[in-house]
Amino acid sequence: MRAFIAIDLPEEVTAPLVRLQAGLPAGRPVAEENLHLTLAFLGDQEEVVLEGLHYELEGIKAPPFELCFSGLGTFGGNRPRILFADVAPESALTDLHRRVTGALRRAGMVPPRERFHPHVTLGRFGNGAAADVAARLRGFLAEHGDTPLPGFAVTGFGLYESTRHPSGVRYELLARYDLV
Ligand code: 2AM
C-alpha cells in the first residue's frame, strides 16, 4: 500500500488555509481534509514492513511543540507546479523528523533522500500552461505572501495510507502516535 507519515492540522489552521485556496488560480486545490505536513513519503510498501515501522514509530518519545507558518512558496523552479504554505523549521520539528527517519531505518526502509522542507501543499497546477500558471502564481504570492496564518500545537503524528479514487486521492489514518 502507498503510505506516508504526516502531521495533521487542526481546524483553526485548515479554515484559513482553505480561505487562501479560494484565491488560487485555476488548478487542483488540496481538499481541506487532506491538508497535512508530510514528515516522510514512503511510497508503496508491504503491509509487513509497515507493521515493523508501526512498532518503531510507537517507540518515538518526544514532547508536543508549537509550529508557525513563514509565508507561501512554490516548488518547480521557474515553472512552479506546487503552491505550499511554508512552515518554520523549528528545532523540535527537525528533531521529530530525525526520529522518524531513524525509525524508518530500523524498520529496514530507506528514508527519502531529499532535504526535509516542512510545508503544507495547498494546490497543484498542470504542466501544460506552466508559464501562465507561473505568472499567476507569482501574482498570487505577491498578494498573499505575508498572509499571517495562525500557529498551531503539534500533539502527535500519524501513519497514513493514500488511495486513489475517481473523486480524488483519499488519506486514511492507519495509526496515530501521541507526543507526550
Ligand atoms: P506534500 O504534498 O506534503 O509535498 C501523500 O501522498 C503526500 O506524500 C503528498 O501530499 C506529498 O506530500 C508526498 N508525496 C507524494 N508523492 C510523493 C513523491 N513521489 N515524492 C515525495 N513525496 C511525495
> Residue 19: helix, strand or coil by DSSP?
helix
- Measure 33 CA to ligand 1 centroid, in angstroms: 15
Minimum mean pLDDT among 69-83, 98-112, 131-145, 161-175: which range? 131-145
Contact 20/147 with Cβ under 8 angstroms? yes
Work out the percent of the chain whose per-residue pLDDT is above 90: 76
Average pLDDT over residues 119-144: 82
Residue of 40, 19, 10, 29 lying closest to 159 (CA atoms): 40
Confidence of residue 128 (pLDDT cuts 50, 70, 90): low
Average pLDDT over residues 86-111: 97
Contact 156/177 with Cβ under 8 angstroms? yes
Confidence of residue 11 (pLDDT cuts 50, 70, 90): very high
Give the residue carrying C-alpha cell 496564518.
149
Domains of the chain as residue ranges with CATH: 2-178 (3.90.1140.10)
Specify the higher pLDDT residue, 45 or 141: 45
- pLDDT above 90 (res 87): yes
Amino acid 140: pLDDT:
87
- pLDDT above 70 (res 149): yes
Specify the higher pLDDT residue, 144 or 52: 52
- Measure 41 CA to ligand 1 centroid, in angstroms: 6
**Average pLDDT of the chain to the nearest whole number:** 93
- pLDDT above 80 (res 159): yes
Residue of 80, 75, 172 lying closest to 114 (CA atoms): 75
Average pLDDT over residues 127-149: 80
Residue of 6, 146, 122, 180 lying closest to 68 (CA atoms): 146
User: pLDDT tens digit string along 30-76?
Assistant: 999 999 999 999 999 999 999 999 999 999 999 999 999 999 999 98
Residue nearest to atom 15 of ligand 1 (CA): 41
Residue 34 Cβ inside 6 Å of ligand 1? The answer reads: no
Confidence of residue 134 (pLDDT cuts 50, 70, 90): confident
Give the nearest ligand 1 atom to 169 CA.
6
